[in-house]
Amino acid sequence: MGENTTLRWLMFFFLPLLFVYGLMHVYSSKPAQAKKTKELTAMEEQGRKVYNKYCVGCHGPNGDGNSMAAPFFKNKPPNFHTAIFRWKSTPEGTLPTDEDLMHILNWGIPQTAMPSFHLVPEIQKKAVIAYIKTFSDRWEKEKPGESIYKKLNGVPEYFGTQESINKGKELYVMNGCNGCHGDTGKGDGAAAASLPVPPTNLTYPVRAAGPKPEDTFRVLTVGLEGSPMPAFGYLSEEDRWHLVSYIAYLMNQGKK
Ligand code: HEC
Ligand code: HEC
């Protein structure tokens, strides 16, 4: 009789309990829901749906970047609760502009897991931008910083000339870029292994910041907040353009 009771207990009590426990697990990984205190606007609610369709798997249900996929990425997804963005055109310590966020969604962040969503309709991207802002109340209290693109009038004449490339190459060593990005720009400098985020391989033919020389100029000017990449806005504008010339040269080397 004893053996039978154990088996019965297992069949009628323990196994269903295990099943219910399993179900609880499935349903506890709820889709994203930020901003508990307030109702979402219609736009934010639409954005939540877009987020749950395209973003939740990597950025996590709470928007803090703690997703099951995150441990597999070299570059971790950001924490939207701090509203600290790396890939933006505004000075350190300030919020990005909507154009910056739209740019990220359209271009993606090449060489990282962040894909491009250029095929997703504009209206859905606007909605998801509105939604990711609900993760941090900084967006209610602060205004985005001034975009550096506003001060730029295209690319200077000397950009890309041999002379400018040579100057850029000198500046690259003088300013210690090689310490992180390596002597030949491959991202293998002496400090590279000890950094929390790998330095970009600058010979890769596509830039994470964007397709234009202005986008690289922007990174040099404002840096990448929250990553080891410093801002070099203290260098003269001309020196920063020489560095962009040199980086464009390295990118072409990468294409060969
Ligand atoms: C396959 C994984 C993946 C998917 C899907 C994904 N992301 Fe990302 N995302 C990342 C990673 C990884 C980063 C960090 C890259 C970096 O900064 O080096 C990132 C970065 C970002 C950034 C830039 C943060 C910064 O610091 O500037 C924004 C904004 C962003 N994602 C929004 C979204 C939105 C909105 C969606 C959905 C429409 C989405 N992502 C879908 C992986 C993903
Ligand atoms: C302390 C280390 C460090 C130094 C010094 C440094 N960088 Fe970086 N740089 C990085 C890291 C790390 C990244 C990638 C950050 C990320 O993915 O979030 C990066 C990213 C970049 C990018 C963005 C690449 C893209 O695809 O858009 C450019 C351009 C760049 N660095 C150029 C330079 C130049 C030029 C200098 C010198 C004037 C320099 N860096 C100095 C660590 C460094």
162 & 239 share domain: yes
48 & 117 share domain: yes
Residue of minimum CA distance from atom 32 in ligand 1? 105
Residue 161 in domain? yes
CATH classification of the domain holding 140: 1.10.760.10
Give the pLDDT score at 253. 84
Q: Give the residues surrounding ligand 2 with Cβ less than 6 Å away.
A: 75, 86, 172, 175-177, 179-181, 191, 195, 197, 199-200, 207-209, 216, 219-220, 224, 227-230, 232, 243, 247
The answer to whether 222 touches 90, Cβ cutoff 8 Å, is: yes
What are 152-167's pLDDT values in tens digits? Answer: 989 999 999 999 999 9
145 & 211 share domain: no
Residue 162 in domain? yes
Alpha carbon distance 84, 143 (integer Å): 13
Residue 189 in domain? yes
Residue of 194, 59, 178, 181 lying closest to 128 (CA atoms): 59
130 & 97 share domain: yes
Burial state string for 116-125 with b = 16 or more CB within 10 A and e = fewer than 16:
ebeeeeeebb
Residue that finishes a domain, picked among 116, 149, 182:
149
* Global confidence as pTM: 0.88
Residue 11 in domain? no
Residue that finishes a domain, picked among 114, 149, 184:
149
Average pLDDT over every residue of 4-21: 57
d(CA 176, ligand 2 centre) in Å:
11
Give the pLDDT score at 39. 86
d(CA 97, ligand 1 centre) in Å:
16
Substitution candidate for ligand 1 out of 44, 53, 54, 58 with most atoms within 8 A of CB: 58
User: Is residue 26 pLDDT above 50, yes or no?
Assistant: no
Domain interval for residue 110: 42-149
d(CA 43, ligand 1 centre) in Å:
20
* Total domains, the chain: 2
133 & 217 share domain: no
CA-angle at 149, arms to 139 and 237, nearest 5°: 125
Mean per-residue pLDDT over the chain, rounded = 90
Residue of 167, 248, 176, 235 lying closest to 207 (CA atoms): 248
User: Is residue 36 pLDDT above 80, yes or no?
Assistant: no
Q: Is residue 87 in contact with ligand 1, taking CB distance under 6 Å? A: yes
Q: Is residue 95 in contact with ligand 1, taking CB distance under 6 Å? A: no
157 & 203 share domain: yes
User: Is residue 13 pLDDT above 80, yes or no?
Assistant: no
Q: Is residue 59 in contact with ligand 1, taking CB distance under 6 Å? A: yes
219 & 145 share domain: no
Which residue's entry shows tokens 């359209």? 106
Q: Is residue 101 in contact with ligand 1, taking CB distance under 6 Å? A: yes
User: Is residue 30 pLDDT above 90, yes or no?
Assistant: no
What are 68-106's pLDDT values in tens digits? Answer: 999 999 899 999 999 999 999 999 999 999 999 999 999
- Within 13 Å, how many C-alpha atoms sit on residue 131's CB side? 28
Average pLDDT over every residue of 105-123: 97
DSSP designation for 11:
I
Residue 124 in domain? yes
134 & 184 share domain: no
User: Is residue 209 pLDDT above 90, yes or no?
Assistant: yes
Residue that finishes a domain, picked among 117, 149, 181:
149
- Within 13 Å, how many C-alpha atoms sit on residue 194's CB side? 5
Give the pLDDT score at 153. 87
125 & 50 share domain: yes
Region of poorest pLDDT, from 12-16, 124-128, 137-141: 12-16
What are 49-67's pLDDT values in tens digits? Answer: 999 999 999 999 999 999 9
Give the pLDDT score at 218. 98
d(CA 26, ligand 1 centre) in Å:
25
Give the pLDDT score at 19. 53
Higher pLDDT, 37 or 249: 249
Burial state string for 5-20 with b = 16 or more CB within 10 A and e = fewer than 16:
eeeeeeeeeeeeeeee
Give the pLDDT score at 93. 96
What are 177-205's pLDDT values in tens digits? Answer: 999 999 999 999 999 999 999 999 999 99
180 & 202 share domain: yes
Backbone angles phi, psi at 144, to 5 degrees: -60, 150
DSSP string, 75-115: SPPP-TTTT--SS-SS-TTSBPPHHHHHHHHHH--TTSS--
Substitution candidate for ligand 2 out of 180, 204, 214, 242 with most atoms within 8 A of CB: 180
119 & 157 share domain: no
Q: Which ligand is nearest to the CA of 88?
A: 1
**CA-to-CA dists, residue 71 to 61, 113, 199, angstroms:** 15, 12, 18
d(CA 226, ligand 1 centre) in Å:
15
